[in-house]
Chains A and B, each alone.
Chain A
Amino acid sequence: MRFRSYKKTLSKSVIGFSPDSDWKKSSRDALLARIRQTEHWQEPEKSHSFGSIFSTMIAPAMLKPVLASLLVVSLTMSGSIFAVQAAKASLPGDTLYSVKLGIEDVQVGLVFSEKKKAELEVKFAGTRLKEVKEVIENDIQTKKQAQNSIKKAIQNFNDNLGSVQKRLEKIENEPKSEVKALEISKLVNEKTTELESDLLEIKEKIASKDALSVPVVEALDSVESENPIPESEQAISNDSEQSAIAEDQEKSAQETESQEANAQKSDVSQKEESFVSQETVNKNTGETLAQETKREGKELLDTLELALTALDDANTKSLEVFVGKAVESKNEEVKKDAVEKLQNKIEKVEKHISDTQEKIVQITEKTTTQNLGKESIEVVSEIAPTESSKEVNAQSSAVSGEKTQDPAVKKEEKDNIISSTTPEILIKTNEINKDIVKPATQSAEAPAKTEQKPIKEVIEQAQFKPNQAKETINEAKKILNEKTEQLGQAVEKLNQAKAMVKEADQNIKTVEQKIDQKSEEVKKANQDTQSAPSSIVPVKDSAQSSTSTAQIIEEPIKSS
């Protein structure tokens, strides 16, 4: 026999020896399951990653042939690996952050299995939340930067969840993907539940102190430090106090000689006027800044809300896929697991429903107080003229006070002049007040009245929804108790209930927005009414001018 033919028989001999195909598959599954459990597997990026692919395969292949290229490539390689490490530590807002996101995309792209892809995406979503936490905890960035960074991270978080959801949909539609789909959906379901608590924690943190309230205070502080006038807001908001100051000053002026007093008085009033106008400017700039930061904070919270809904959607979708596949599966344990998960979800939705109901109650209370707010405007409109008339009365009495101090020359004439001028002024100020206050209240009342009805309707709708949702949830529970085969129906009911609660939530949001708008309008109206007395200043002047006319009349008499 020749050696060549012997070699052939030898190599052919073993081809027929093959293991059982069943064993091959089960052994493979067992192997992969064990791999997943290994510690290394749970932290894939620790020692091996994108960089290790380069160093283990591409780099040697490229570096072997030529020594020169070895030097160059090793330099660039080490550079890129450092860059990769640096990028991994970057936060939103950093220059390398986009590189980090790119690396993550590549990692997802390099992975073969759908499950691994979904797992990585969920993991990266978790990384986004970690970034947000880091941004909140490390005070390196300014508040505005931090807000932007958080927004960016949350948006990316939503993107990650979006692709997870797409993957779930893809798997759901794939036939013969039972085991895979079960694994993936279970994993996504569990991870999203974890992420949800993280996200809620972040939201609480942001809502409580860091991102929202601090910038507002800071903004106000910065305005105050630019214009160091203490208690500017108190002074402007309290008009009666101001008039009291004016009275005091006038009284003190009365003690001195009348001419000097008059000169001083006019000075004071001028100062007062400039003071008032300056303060209003300050207040306006402060308010706009505060409003801006508040608005940004609200936007941030809105994006967080969006993230929460995206998370919830991914969670429900994964549950849907899991339950769908569990029903098809013959494994009893999987079915039990599905039932358990469904029950948990139902509990969550129930909690959500009760939360929504609470919100609705709060909103209805708010709307009633809103009505009170409207009444308060009316009260203001009533009070405003009387107050301003008081002011004028005070002035006129001051004038009459002067008169008593004066040596009694031609009393009657003066009395006549004053008595004839003061009612005129009173009437004028009343008219002015009416003109100012009326349009303001009208503008606030008109939209309020027109919006009153739709808001009520929306609230009623919202109130109705949670009850409906409760009913569907109860149906789902019944189905759950009856048969595990009908799990799909339970999921449907669950989704219905969720949709209802969502609708109620949206209704609440629209009501809240409307209320916000209204309250802003009311605020404006209030401001207008407050600015009304300051617009009476010219009236004050006219009162003064009346006194000065009295003096003009007096003086020639004196001289004579």
Chain B
Amino acid sequence: MSGSLNDKFLLASALAGDEEAFGKIYDKYVEEIFRFVLMRTSNKEEAQDLTSEAFLKTWEYVSSSSKRIDNIRALLYRVSRNLVIDYYRKSGRQVQALDEDQFAKIIDQSVDLEESAAKRDDIKQAFSLLDNLSEEYRELLLMRYTQDLSTSEIAKALGKKEGTVRVGLHRAIKQLKEILKNV
């Protein structure tokens, strides 16, 4: 509550004429949005471009819309998700989950060498398990457990009802647990 109240305060200040307040929102969420986009594009440069664009689009929406924004974080996710979809539509490619090679590359770039060997294996395994799930469930699980979004935030980000998201998540977890039993 306090986090979201803080967001609201920052947003209101930004709208009252303080761009630095939006800068603070950027500081707070840029990394997680980048990760979210990175996991969908598997390309660091493209992820960075899309993240920048996501923040700008969000500002444009916030400043021009007459609607009251309850949750800027969820809005950021929604905008960046749409941008990723657009990106794939334009390039004619299919949205892909991280493939192993690219994933290894990213991990190598960002994880300490000492840790990397053991960590890489764990992460690789964790993501490969997700490949067994449907696209919809995979997205729900990633949003919930890698991005740490609440069900209501996921619902807002995906433009779905909260109940639908809750049910979807429940089913995804159930399926995942089944898979984990076999590991």
* A contact set with B: CB distance below 8 Å: 1-3, 6-7, 9-11, 13-14, 16-20, 23-24, 27-28, 30-32, 34-36, 38, 40-41, 44-45, 48-50, 52-53, 55-57, 61, 107, 110-113, 115-116, 120
- Nearest Cβ on chain B to A455's Cβ, whole angstroms: 52
> Is the pair A107, B17 in contact by a Cβ cutoff of 8 Å?
yes
- Closest residue of chain A to B115, judged by CB? A16
> Is the pair A40, B24 in contact by a Cβ cutoff of 8 Å?
no
| Of the residues B19, B56, B146, B176, contact of A3 by C-beta under 8 Å | B176
- Nearest Cβ on chain A to B145's Cβ, whole angstroms: 5
List, in ascending order, chain A residues with CB within 8 A of B60's CB.
Answer: 38
> Is the pair B122, A49 in contact by a Cβ cutoff of 8 Å?
no
> Is the pair A13, B126 in contact by a Cβ cutoff of 8 Å?
yes
> Is the pair B20, A32 in contact by a Cβ cutoff of 8 Å?
yes
- Is B183 in the interface zone, CB < 8 Å from A? yes
- Closest residue of chain B to A119, judged by CB? B17
List, in ascending order, chain B residues with CB within 8 A of A115's CB.
Answer: 20
| Of the residues A14, A27, A61, contact of B35 by C-beta under 8 Å | A14
- Is B13 in the interface zone, CB < 8 Å from A? yes
* B contact set with A: CB distance below 8 Å: 5, 8-9, 11-24, 26-27, 30-31, 34-35, 38-39, 44, 47-48, 51-52, 55-56, 59-60, 63-64, 68-69, 106-107, 110-111, 119, 122-123, 125-127, 129, 141-142, 145-148, 173, 176-177, 180, 183
Given contacts A44-B16, A112-B21, contact A18 B110 (CB under 8 A): yes
> Is the pair B110, A13 in contact by a Cβ cutoff of 8 Å?
no
- Nearest Cβ on chain B to A466's Cβ, whole angstroms: 43
List, in ascending order, chain A residues with CB within 8 A of B180's CB.
Answer: 1-3, 6
- For the A-B complex with A49-B16, A111-B17 known, give 5 more contacts whose Cβ atoms are closer than 8 Å: A11-B146, A17-B35, A24-B30, A52-B15, A56-B69
List, in ascending order, chain B residues with CB within 8 A of A16's CB.
Answer: 107, 110-111, 119
List, in ascending order, chain B residues with CB within 8 A of A40's CB.
Answer: 15, 63-64
- Nearest Cβ on chain B to A116's Cβ, whole angstroms: 5
> Is the pair A34, B56 in contact by a Cβ cutoff of 8 Å?
yes
List, in ascending order, chain B residues with CB within 8 A of A31's CB.
Answer: 22-23, 26, 52, 55-56, 59
Give A63 to B64 CA distance when docked, in angstroms.
26
> Is the pair A27, B16 in contact by a Cβ cutoff of 8 Å?
no
> Is the pair A56, B19 in contact by a Cβ cutoff of 8 Å?
no
Given contacts A20-B48, A28-B27, A32-B20, contact A112 B13 (CB under 8 A): yes
> Is the pair A10, B24 in contact by a Cβ cutoff of 8 Å?
no
Chain A contact residues: helix, strand, loop or mixed: helix
> Is the pair B19, A6 in contact by a Cβ cutoff of 8 Å?
no
List, in ascending order, chain B residues with CB within 8 A of A57's CB.
Answer: 5, 8-9, 12
> Is the pair A19, B31 in contact by a Cβ cutoff of 8 Å?
yes
Give A24 to B9 CA distance when docked, in angstroms.
23
> Is the pair A38, B20 in contact by a Cβ cutoff of 8 Å?
no
Given contacts A61-B5, A107-B17, A113-B18, contact A48 B59 (CB under 8 A): no
List, in ascending order, chain A residues with CB within 8 A of B63's CB.
Answer: 35, 38, 40-41
> Is the pair A48, B35 in contact by a Cβ cutoff of 8 Å?
no
List, in ascending order, chain B residues with CB within 8 A of A27's CB.
Answer: 30, 48, 51-52, 55
List, in ascending order, chain B residues with CB within 8 A of A113's CB.
Answer: 18-20, 23
Can you list 24 A-B contacts with CB-CB less than 8 angstroms, sorted by A residue number?
A3-B177, A6-B129, A6-B176, A7-B145, A9-B125, A13-B123, A13-B127, A16-B119, A19-B34, A19-B44, A19-B47, A24-B30, A27-B55, A31-B22, A31-B55, A36-B19, A41-B63, A48-B16, A56-B11, A57-B5, A107-B17, A112-B13, A112-B20, A116-B17
- Closest residue of chain B to A115, judged by CB? B20
> Is the pair B13, A32 in contact by a Cβ cutoff of 8 Å?
no
List, in ascending order, chain B residues with CB within 8 A of A14's CB.
Answer: 35, 39, 146-147
- Nearest Cβ on chain A to B85's Cβ, whole angstroms: 20
- Nearest Cβ on chain A to B58's Cβ, whole angstroms: 10
CB-CB nearest 8 A-B residue pairs:
A44-B17, A113-B20, A48-B15, A57-B8, A53-B12, A40-B63, A13-B123, A111-B18
